[in-house]
Amino acid sequence: MATANDTAAQQSPWWRDAVIYQVYPRSFADSDGDGVGDLTGVRERLPYLAGLGVDALWFSPWYASPQADAGYDVADYRRIDPAFGTLADAEALIAEAHALGLKIVVDIVPNHVSDRHPWFREALACGPGAEARDLFWFRPGRGPAGELPPNDWQSVFGGPAWTRTTNPDGTPGEWYLHLFAPEQPDLNWNNTKVREEHESVLRFWFDRGADGVRIDSATMPAKDPALPDFDPAAPPLPHPYIDRDDVHGIYRSWRALAEAYSPPRALIGEVWLADPVRFAHYLRPDEMHTAFNFDYLNSPWDPAALRTVIDATLSSHASVGASPTWVLSNHDVTRHVTRYGRADSSFGHALRQHRTPTNLALGTRRARAALLLALALPGGHYIYQGEELGLWEVEDIPDDLRQDPIFHRTGGTDVGRDGCRVPLPWSGDRPPFGFSPDTAQAAPWLPQPAQWASCTAEAQDGRPGSMLTFYRTALALRRGEPGLRALDFRWLPVDDPAVLAFTRADGFVCLANLSPAPAPLPPDTHLLLASDVDFDPATGHLPPDTTVWLRRP
Ligand code: GLC
């Protein structure tokens, strides 16, 4: 029977305007001194996260995994990787987070599993023709001796998307498909066992209290079974493996499963798609609840580009009655303090702009302005761990310490994602900055820059004007601001198109000045918060690269 609380939750589900903090377990906090973060480390810092003022935590994969792609190669969804802890630790973490009012989102990776997953081990051991192979995409090679891959698809991480196997008798065998690393064989979603297993995994975590799932590479699980060649320069429609119509059946079925829980669990999609109409299909009322807004993340710090992406986001979401999200950084992209300090401040996976000249002071100033802008837009907001400390992309990691398969599979042409995954600085004046205990036997799994001494949570705690204080203040204000709850949004007329000004409900106004010149403040408003601590509203003008929250009486 539904309780009064359930009814309230259905009327205004938490995910519609939640601030969700992404925990990247390897790099959050290491309690046992092996140089790798773990769940006990997170549990010890739950009060910090609750105190930051976020509503929910999303955990990048914490499951048993050989870590060929930092946990996105899952060997067993029902076990926690020993480097991170145990299932009991995860259960305790969920309970403790809930007690502090924090929701939990776990990561599910439907496109592929690890090559160490028992299904793939069995498929390899059984040899060609075995039923176990139908859970994946095994095919004979082309060429007289099958020496060429079955088609010309390329891996997202570089190199061919096929790897040849060796038969149990030692002879060269079939090839298998992996759209990411060879250690991540793609699953065949036409096989009902694949569907049933994932639904059982969803129930496993929902039954343990997970409030939602983040769905990895959500556009990719459905493939054209004919596996045709694919020329990216002349792409056929439909694409042979991205955003195929039949992928939606998976999420309809997951939605029904999530809705059967009380309160219903949330589905959050990693949907990288440039077409806003196709993107919105994933958010139809019987599919996912929300999806990451990568168009916003990719956008440069440019008023026209941001205005365009905000409008496109609001209209595509309104077309399906969905709630937008606003994202600035995550574990796959260059940290935005760095992006916003560059001449070209946009992001693209093919455009990492490694080691281009970067003005970190400017990037930091803009990151503060960007936070207030994004937090004031209608919908949910994502924070990637360390963003609240003002961390920048670490660009000088020595090649021999780099771990990302992208770096290795592209021969270093694409430097990869390690620079945003460096372990967090918590305290002290030198590495490991409290990430690991003083007694640690190993250094952090990626080296931390010495300059992070001024960025530690300890150094910033309670300091007026620090990034951490700013995040705490902004999140507390947002939570208490009734005008930000509803989806109301209206642009305000401005003389300078480089000023983004809009109002929400209850007289709330947000003004972001992206112009190189000061912008006049609207009359009859009073200041709630400014991204620039030194801003004085008495001047009547807002400096460049500054955002303010104002209220009309
Ligand atoms: C997603 C993840 C990324 C991972 C990839 C393959 O894009 O965010 O980190 O490497 O999927 O699972």
Q: Which amino acid is at 290?
A: T
Which of 22, 72, 178, 347 to probe ligand 1 with, by most ligand atoms within 8 A of CB? 72
What is the model's pLDDT at position 257?
Answer: 98
Q: 476: buried, middle or exposed (CB in 10 Å: 19+, 13-18, 0-12)?
A: middle
Question: 325 has which bridge partners?
Answer: 380
Give the DSSP letter string of 23-83: E-GGGT--SSSSSS--HHHHHHTHHHHHHHT-SEEEEPP-EE---TTTTSS-SEEEEE-TT
Tell me the CA–centroid distance for residue 396 and ligand 1, in Å.
23
How big is the chain, counted in residues? Answer: 553
What's phi and psi for 173, nearest 5 deg? -115, -150
What is the model's pLDDT at position 525?
Answer: 94
Residue of 69, 243, 270, 387 with catalytic role: 270
What's phi and psi for 41, nearest 5 deg? -60, -40
SS3 529: strand
- Minimum CA distance residue for ligand 1 atom 7: 217
What is the model's pLDDT at position 355?
Answer: 86
Q: Which atom of ligand 1 is nearest to the CA of 332?
A: 9
Alpha carbon dihedral 81, 84, 85, 90, in 10-degree steps, equals: -90
pLDDT band per the 50, 70, 90 thresholds, residue 52: very high
Give the DSSP letter string of 175-222: EEE-SS-TTSPBB-TTSHHHHHHHHHHHHHHHHTT--EEEETTTT-S-
What is the model's pLDDT at position 181?
Answer: 98
What is the model's pLDDT at position 47?
Answer: 98
**How many Å is the Cα radius of gyration of the chain?**
24
SS3 93: helix
Tell me the CA–centroid distance for residue 220 and ligand 1, in Å.
11
Locate tokens 């809705």: which residue? 259
Q: 430: buried, middle or exposed (CB in 10 Å: 19+, 13-18, 0-12)?
A: exposed
Tell me the CA–centroid distance for residue 494 and ligand 1, in Å.
40
User: Model-level pTM?
Assistant: 0.97
What is the model's pLDDT at position 232?
Answer: 80
pLDDT digits 0-9 by tens, 351-409: 799 889 999 999 999 999 999 999 999 999 999 999 999 999 999 999 999 999 999 99
Residue of 216, 295, 481, 532 with catalytic role: 216
The encoded tokens of residue 63 equal 């499951």
pLDDT tops 60 at residue 325: yes
Tell me the CA–centroid distance for residue 397 and ligand 1, in Å.
21
pLDDT band per the 50, 70, 90 thresholds, residue 9: very low
- Quick one: CA dihedral 364, 503, 293, 67, positive or negative? positive
pLDDT digits 0-9 by tens, 502-527: 999 999 999 999 999 999 999 999 99
Q: Count of alpha carbons within 13 Å of 458, Cβ hemisphere only?
A: 12
What is the model's pLDDT at position 357?
Answer: 96
Name residues whose C-beta falls within 8 Å of residue 200's C-beta, 6 or more positions apart in sequence: none
Tell me the CA–centroid distance for residue 470 and ligand 1, in Å.
30
Q: Which atom of ligand 1 is nearest to the CA of 331?
A: 9
- Minimum CA distance residue for ligand 1 atom 6: 72
pLDDT band per the 50, 70, 90 thresholds, residue 66: very high
Write out residues with Cβ below 6 Å of ligand 1: 69, 72, 109, 180, 216-217, 270, 331-332
pLDDT tops 60 at residue 5: no
What is the model's pLDDT at position 90?
Answer: 98
Quick one: average pLDDT of 99-111?
Answer: 98
The closest of 309, 388, 267 to 13, measured between CA atoms, is 267
- Minimum CA distance residue for ligand 1 atom 12: 72
Strands (DSSP E) contained in 81-123 are 103-108
Q: Which atom of ligand 1 is nearest to the CA of 72?
A: 12
Which of 155, 332, 421 to probe ligand 1 with, by most ligand atoms within 8 A of CB? 332
Can 270 be counted among the known catalytic residues? yes
pLDDT digits 0-9 by tens, 127-168: 999 999 999 999 999 999 999 999 999 999 999 999 999 998
User: CB–CB of 138/128 below 8 Å?
Assistant: yes
Give the C-alpha distances (Å, rounded to integers) separating 527 from 177, 307, 483: 56, 23, 15
What is the model's pLDDT at position 446?
Answer: 98
pLDDT tops 90 at residue 10: no
What is the model's pLDDT at position 235?
Answer: 78
Tell me the CA–centroid distance for residue 514 and ligand 1, in Å.
32
- pLDDT > 90 fraction of the chain, expressed in percent and rounded: 93
Mean pLDDT of the chain: 96
What is the model's pLDDT at position 508?
Answer: 96
How many Å apart are CA 208 and CA 205, to the nearest integer? 5
User: CB–CB of 62/81 below 8 Å?
Assistant: yes
Q: How would you classify the pairing of strands 526-530 and 519-520?
A: unpaired
pLDDT tops 90 at residue 350: no
Q: Which amino acid is at 135?
A: L
Can 396 be counted among the known catalytic residues? no
Q: Which residue has the higher pLDDT, 62 or 4?
A: 62
- pLDDT > 70 fraction of the chain, expressed in percent and rounded: 98
How many Å apart are CA 370 and CA 407, to the nearest integer? 29
Which of 23, 74, 217, 417 to probe ligand 1 with, by most ligand atoms within 8 A of CB? 217
Which of 22, 213, 216 to probe ligand 1 with, by most ligand atoms within 8 A of CB? 216
Q: Which atom of ligand 1 is nearest to the CA of 180?
A: 6
Tell me the CA–centroid distance for residue 21 and ligand 1, in Å.
17
What's phi and psi for 200, nearest 5 deg? -65, -35
pLDDT digits 0-9 by tens, 405-447: 999 999 999 999 999 999 999 999 999 999 999 999 999 999 9
pLDDT band per the 50, 70, 90 thresholds, residue 11: low
Angle between helices 360-376 and 467-480 (to 10 degrees): 10
pLDDT tops 70 at residue 336: yes
- Minimum CA distance residue for ligand 1 atom 9: 332
pLDDT digits 0-9 by tens, 525-552: 999 999 999 999 999 999 999 999 999 9
pLDDT tops 80 at residue 44: yes
The closest of 374, 393, 353 to 296, measured between CA atoms, is 374
Tell me the CA–centroid distance for residue 527 and ligand 1, in Å.
41
What is the model's pLDDT at position 486?
Answer: 82
The closest of 76, 67, 216 to 156, measured between CA atoms, is 216
User: CB–CB of 21/58 below 8 Å?
Assistant: yes
Tell me the CA–centroid distance for residue 7 and ligand 1, in Å.
35
Tell me the CA–centroid distance for residue 465 and ligand 1, in Å.
35
Which of 180, 219, 327, 409 to probe ligand 1 with, by most ligand atoms within 8 A of CB? 180
pLDDT digits 0-9 by tens, 449-492: 999 999 999 999 999 999 999 999 999 999 999 888 888 999 99
Burial 302-328 (b: 16+ CB within 10 A, else e): ebebbbebbeebbebbeeeebbbbbbb
Name residues whose C-beta falls within 8 Å of residue 536's C-beta, 6 or more positions apart in sequence: none
pLDDT digits 0-9 by tens, 280-289: 999 999 999 9
Q: Count of alpha carbons within 13 Å of 134, Cβ hemisphere only?
A: 8
What is the model's pLDDT at position 71?
Answer: 98
Q: 235: buried, middle or exposed (CB in 10 Å: 19+, 13-18, 0-12)?
A: exposed
Q: Which atom of ligand 1 is nearest to the CA of 417?
A: 9
Quick one: average pLDDT of 290-313?
Answer: 98
The encoded tokens of residue 354 equal 């490694």
